[in-house]
Structure 1
Amino acid sequence: MKQTSQSSRLSIAPMMDWTDRHCRYFHRQISRHALLYTEMVTAPALVRGGAVHLLAFDASEHPVALQLGGSDPAELAEAARMGADAGYDEINLNVGCPSDRVQSGTFGAVLMKTPDLVADCVQAMKRAVSVPVTVKCRIGVDDQDPETVLPEFIGRVKDAGCDYLIVHARKAWLKGLSPKENRDVPPLDYDLVVRMKERFPDMPISVNGGIESLDAAEALIARGLDGAMIGRAAYHRPWDVLSGVDARLFGAPAGTTREDVIRAMRPYIDAHLANGGKLHQVTRHMLGLFAGQPGARLWRRVLSEQANLPGQTSALLDEALDRMRRLDTV
């Protein structure tokens, strides 16, 4: 089994502007085993732009995967090598993002139209690194017939050496839908992804798209898939989604509380502030920690309104928690 295959049973999707290193550190305090992904980092930014700061992460984030965007095999190979040297457990190629900016760079979901090029990219990355090389894709784009193009695509990347495939179970419409609409409007087709696993039993396949809970993830895995990837639900309701992952999917002991998570975040925040960082850069990812609980709105309001104020420290977390508790006793 590949290094990250087991942790891929439940992973948190790469999300631009959201899954930065602070978000990943926070999520890691809730689940020790779920696989975490970076935001997409473009290969040109690393190789030509020298943006190595984008590779920064905390050692406690492991297992953690670097997602790359690009379409030049040699450049992606070099970027993959940089990621592996930085310590990432997996290098993932983005073949799913539908944004105009990504299309103009000839990478992301538009690459579904050129499976041979994707295969060349995967092969070059595989030659460059010893960690797993994976691909995240859609079931097709625009007027493509997923029943035809997806198995062809899977066959090509499998032959190129792809270690693991994550399939967002929706088409991407490159014209006419915004990136946000592409997350919601095209219909989900989980059945197709399950059929692909049946057709390629030796290819580890995870499913992504529209998965709102750990129960839903488990139900999809029970259909024969190797894993499930959850995106926005895990961000907005991190405790609901992640707190049961270790016990239910990895057979590890549970027992962490929300208060434990808050205590674990304090020294991390203190170190971030000591290095010139801003409190809100971390706390903005923690707003959903108490989602659905009494006082959740107060928790969000305190962090949202006060984390940007001068002189605020990690003590703001304790203040917000204390105000929640007092509200609960009124």
Structure 2
Amino acid sequence: MFSSVSTERTGKSVFYQPHRFCVAPMMDWTDRHCRAFHRQLTRHALLFTEMVTAPAILHGDRQRLLGMSGEGEHPVALQLGGSDPAALAEAAAIGEGFGYDEINFNVGCPSDRVQEGRFGACLMAEPELVAQCVARMQARVKVPVTVKCRIGIDDQDSEGDLQRFIDVVAPAGCRTFIVHARKAWLQGLSPKQNREIPPLDYARVYRLKAARPELTIVINGGIATLEEAAAHLAHVDGVMLGRAAYQTPYILAEVDRRFFDPGAKVSTRREAIEGIYPYVERHLASGGRLNNIVRHVLGLYHGVPRARLFRRHLSENAPRSAAGLATLLEAVAIAEASNPQLAAAE
């Protein structure tokens, strides 16, 4: 999926591959409010929704589940969970109708709740079913259908197991695989433990790319800095950051210039906050709460003086029913008091 954009500085078109840098789908975190904020820091990184199950889309409140923060949210992918090819195909078509640039199939989440619904990582044991799901979705939509998976599950974690999974699924129409470089234990470990205890094996993902150069391979898992991301790009097509991008979001401000366009502008923290003021006002005017948005902003000043005061002010005041834009303005003033260097990008 290649795109063309005009840069602010030069007005020239820049062609880029959004999978080069992605912000991971994270349950309860990467909602539309989070994506509206992240888009103020990076224009080009590929953003993802939380995982949404196909049954929820077919039978639930689609506007609540799929509505975007605005046209400026692109490029953005919808991550789907499920195991019924027909339901997934219908959900993918609905998602495409909402304007998503990509449909991503979750075959990597190891939670008990997901397994009970026959979603997520347990499907790695059924590559033929995954292929059927991908084929049915790709037949219904024009946007790419991609897969996010692990390097293996339980005792099916050899290099040959991963290769066989890819060999079965790729011919169904999947040209992009986002691979979390840890296997998942489906029993005995919590989702948090599955992000920490199974050892990372980046080299296996590198070898997968070397063996299948025609596929787009994106690496995920344990990547904490842009320096680490750049090192991975010597071996694979793209990188995906999760918790590091969410908990220390200002690292996203350097993404466009470092990975997509050397002439891209780097926003200051204040500019990122000011960029969401109109969105905040619209959300409040529609009956929303300030805390729905600013809970995603708490880490913006991480690592600089007064960051703790910024977080405290928002944590204590944003949940109040009367909290409005003034509460956010006060937090910024607190964070930047006696810190004139924050007016410039770092």
Task: Give the TM-score normalised by structure 2.
Answer: 0.92
> Partners in 2 of 1:324 and 1:229 — Cα distance?
29
Equivalent residue letter for 1:246:
D
What is the CA distance between 1:308 and its match in structure 2?
1.3
Give a deviation string over 1:246-271, Cα, whole Å, max 9, x none: 00100141231111111111111110
Identity of aligned residues (%): 57
Equivalent residue letter for 1:302:
H
What is the CA distance between 1:163 and its match in structure 2?
2.5
Matches within 5 A, 1:315-326: 315-326=326-337
Q: Which residue of 1 aligns with 2:274?
A: 263
Specify whether residues 305 and 6 from structure 1 end up closer, same or farther in structure 2 by C-alpha distance, changes over 3 A only: same
Report the 3-state secondary structure (helix = DSSP H, G, I; strand = E; otherwise coil) of the residue aligned with 2:337. Answer: helix
1:146 aligns with 2:146: no
Q: Which residue of 1 aligns with 2:255?
A: 245
Q: Which residue of 2 aligns with 1:284?
A: 295
> Partners in 1 of 2:219 and 2:337 — Cα distance?
42
> Partners in 2 of 1:20 and 1:50 — Cα distance?
15
1:36 aligns with 2:47: yes
Q: Which residue of 1 aligns with 2:209?
A: 197
Give a deviation string over 1:154-213, Cα, whole Å, max 9, x none: 111111110311000000000000011001110000000000000000010000000001
- The answer to whether the Cα contact below 8 Å between 1:3 and 1:131 also exists between their aligned partners in 2 is no
- The answer to whether the Cα contact below 8 Å between 1:3 and 1:89 also exists between their aligned partners in 2 is no
Report the 3-state secondary structure (helix = DSSP H, G, I; strand = E; otherwise coil) of the residue aligned with 1:171. Answer: coil
Q: Which residue of 1 aligns with 2:115?
A: 103
1:64 to 68, 72, 76: 76
Report the 3-state secondary structure (helix = DSSP H, G, I; strand = E; otherwise coil) of the residue aligned with 1:300. Answer: helix
Equivalent residue letter for 2:73:
E
Equivalent residue letter for 1:113:
A
Q: CA RMSD in A?
A: 1.4
Matches within 5 A, 1:165-176: 165-176=177-188
> Partners in 2 of 1:303 and 1:23 — Cα distance?
15
Moved more, 138-147 or 269-278: 138-147
> Partners in 1 of 2:326 and 2:158 — Cα distance?
51
What is the CA distance between 1:3 and its match in structure 2?
5.7
Matches within 5 A, 1:1-330: 1-2=1-2, 6-49=17-60, 51-57=62-68, 58-223=70-235, 225-240=236-251, 242-251=252-261, 252-326=263-337, 328=339
> Partners in 2 of 1:295 and 1:102 — Cα distance?
40
- The answer to whether the Cα contact below 8 Å between 2:2 and 2:18 also exists between their aligned partners in 1 is no
> Partners in 2 of 1:247 and 1:319 — Cα distance?
30
What is the CA distance between 1:311 and its match in structure 2?
1.7
- The answer to whether the Cα contact below 8 Å between 2:301 and 2:335 also exists between their aligned partners in 1 is no
- The answer to whether the Cα contact below 8 Å between 2:157 and 2:183 also exists between their aligned partners in 1 is no
Q: How many residues align?
A: 327
What is the CA distance between 1:13 and its match in structure 2?
0.4
Equivalent residue letter for 2:274:
R
Equivalent residue letter for 1:76:
L
Equivalent residue letter for 2:156:
Q
What is the CA distance between 1:328 and its match in structure 2?
4.6
Mark the runs of 5 or more structure 1 residues left unpaired by the alignment. Answer: none
> Partners in 2 of 1:214 and 1:326 — Cα distance?
28
> Partners in 2 of 1:245 and 1:138 — Cα distance?
25
> Partners in 2 of 1:325 and 1:187 — Cα distance?
40
Equivalent residue letter for 1:247:
R
Report the 3-state secondary structure (helix = DSSP H, G, I; strand = E; otherwise coil) of the residue aligned with 1:26. Answer: helix
Equivalent residue letter for 1:181:
Q
Report the 3-state secondary structure (helix = DSSP H, G, I; strand = E; otherwise coil) of the residue aligned with 2:308. Answer: helix
Mark the runs of 5 or more structure 2 residues left unpaired by the alignment. Answer: 5-15, 341-346
What is the CA distance between 1:146 and its match in structure 2?
2.7
- The answer to whether the Cα contact below 8 Å between 1:279 and 1:313 also exists between their aligned partners in 2 is yes
- The answer to whether the Cα contact below 8 Å between 1:208 and 1:228 also exists between their aligned partners in 2 is yes
> Partners in 1 of 2:146 and 2:226 — Cα distance?
23
Moved more, 279-288 or 50-59: 50-59
- The answer to whether the Cα contact below 8 Å between 2:254 and 2:266 also exists between their aligned partners in 1 is no
> Partners in 1 of 2:201 and 2:126 — Cα distance?
22
